[in-house]
Amino acid sequence: MEWSWCADSVKKCSGTKNNATELLREAREVMQKKSAYHVAVVGATGAVGQEMVAILEERQFPVAQLSLFASERSAGTTLPFCGREITIQPWTAESFAGIDIVLGATDGAISKKFTPQAVAAGAVVIDNSSAYRMAPDVPLVVPEVNGATLAGHRGIIANPNCAAAPLVMALKPLHDAATLRRVVVTTFQSVSGTGRDAMDELMEQTRSLLAFREVVPKVYDRQIAFNCIVNWQADPVTGDTEEETKIIGETRKILGLPHLGVAATTIRVPVFRSHGVSVNVETESKLSVDVARARLAAFPGVVVLDDPARKVYPTPLDATGQDAVYVGRVREDVSIANGLNLWIVSDNLRKGAALNAVQIAESLIRA
């Protein structure tokens, strides 16, 4: 999708302004002048949205007012924030007046409806869906890796895919040390990456199977409990699934390496939370295991858990509820001249989604 689509949509939503670009610039200036912000979460009742609300409180983001939106289904329910219960409302075109920052946590189709309206109303939207990630003029940001690209935002900032975000956190220090040539990625993704309904499905299927009852898959097209599956929707030409295509494109965009060789295979595993990613890296120059570990450990937000002698390596249970991207099993790949293998684990709802979005908002208000 092209930026012109975003600009046209914003223009349509703007009652008084004709120049969409001018309107988007103003949105950024308004936000920078304040000491506390009117923040909204759209999709607040979902897996990512609930985590966003919790992280805003936990990190003491300067919130003057918090508005929480979801579908009609959730209207009137509440979520706790800073000792108060905030009522969930359905959003309308008028909902975004006076809001500075919108954290989007809905699917892409819904984001394409509310985002232009929010930007036209003067907000900056940090969107977790894939709707705008590959739009050329929309920054796709992991602050530790390419935070500088935020300076070019025009009202919409995209938050990456939940496997791409931790992946680039580990790739960036390796690239800076030895220049990436090719990356081969295999993911072991938890069901929370598909959202709240998929977590319920894993729980229900597990219970049913342990009670010798039959299961009927609803969210996924195969049984996920006690299984490993592929989320279909494959590209008819490449055969890559949508998730694989996202990881390839987003990794290149965030690292600013449009021609980097990236191959991805994504697998959904019966784990509730936190994704594992197996990575094989080929670099232009030789990088020893010790130097790679040191570079990774020095990178902000990365923690190396790697001591084979003591069987230390990260697991999804270790990462759940944590902010860090954990890296272990750093080994030389002796099958090529300059190769390394590594294993990354990160909480998909935190660095893979909500935490990264709040960190983007923090970078914006610091700018």
Ligand X SMILES: NC(=O)c1ccc[n+]([C@@H]2O[C@H](COP(=O)([O-])OP(=O)(O)OC[C@H]3O[C@@H](n4cnc5c(N)ncnc54)[C@H](OP(=O)(O)O)[C@@H]3O)[C@@H](O)[C@H]2O)c1
- 276 touching ligand X, by CB under 6 A: no
Is 102 within 8 Å of 356 (Cβ atoms)? no
Report in angstroms how near the CB of residue 336 gets to ligand X at its nearest.
32
Is 118 within 8 Å of 130 (Cβ atoms)? no
Angle at 124 between CA 118 and CA 130, to 5 degrees: 80
Specify the 3-state DSSP secondary structure of 326.
strand
- 192 touching ligand X, by CB under 6 A: yes
Is 325 within 8 Å of 303 (Cβ atoms)? yes
- 349 touching ligand X, by CB under 6 A: yes
> Which residue has its beta carbon closest to ligand X?
46
Report in angstroms how near the CB of residue 41 gets to ligand X at its nearest.
9
Going through the chain in order, the beta strands assigned E by DSSP cover 37-42, 63-70, 78-81, 84-90, 101-104, 124-127, 156-158, 180-189, 261-268, 275-283, 302-304, 325-332, 339-346
The interface region with ligand X, picked from 6-14, 46-54, 179-187, 207-215 by CB under 6 A, is: 46-54
Quick check: is 162 catalytic?
yes
- 139 touching ligand X, by CB under 6 A: no
Between 328 and 352, CB nearer to ligand X:
352
Structure tokens at 104: 């989007």
- 328 touching ligand X, by CB under 6 A: no
First to last CA, the chain: 28
- 158 touching ligand X, by CB under 6 A: no
Of the candidates 96, 348, 358, 359, which one interacts with ligand X according to CB under 6 A?
A: 348
Of the candidates 162, 167, 248, 255, which one interacts with ligand X according to CB under 6 A?
A: 162
The interface region with ligand X, picked from 36-44, 219-227, 260-268, 281-289 by CB under 6 A, is: 36-44
Report in angstroms how near the CB of residue 267 gets to ligand X at its nearest.
15
Residue position matching structure tokens 């993911």: 187
Report in angstroms how near the CB of residue 81 gets to ligand X at its nearest.
15
Q: Look at residues 77, 71, 69 and name the one whose alpha carbon lies nearest to residue 103.
A: 69
Quick check: is 38 catalytic?
no
- 101 touching ligand X, by CB under 6 A: no
Is 21 within 8 Å of 169 (Cβ atoms)? no
Is 185 within 8 Å of 265 (Cβ atoms)? yes
Of the candidates 9, 74, 117, 149, which one interacts with ligand X according to CB under 6 A?
A: 74
Residues near ligand X (CB under 6 A) are 42-49, 69-71, 73-74, 91, 105-108, 110, 128-129, 162, 192-193, 195-197, 348-349, 352-353
Give catalytic residue positions.
162, 275
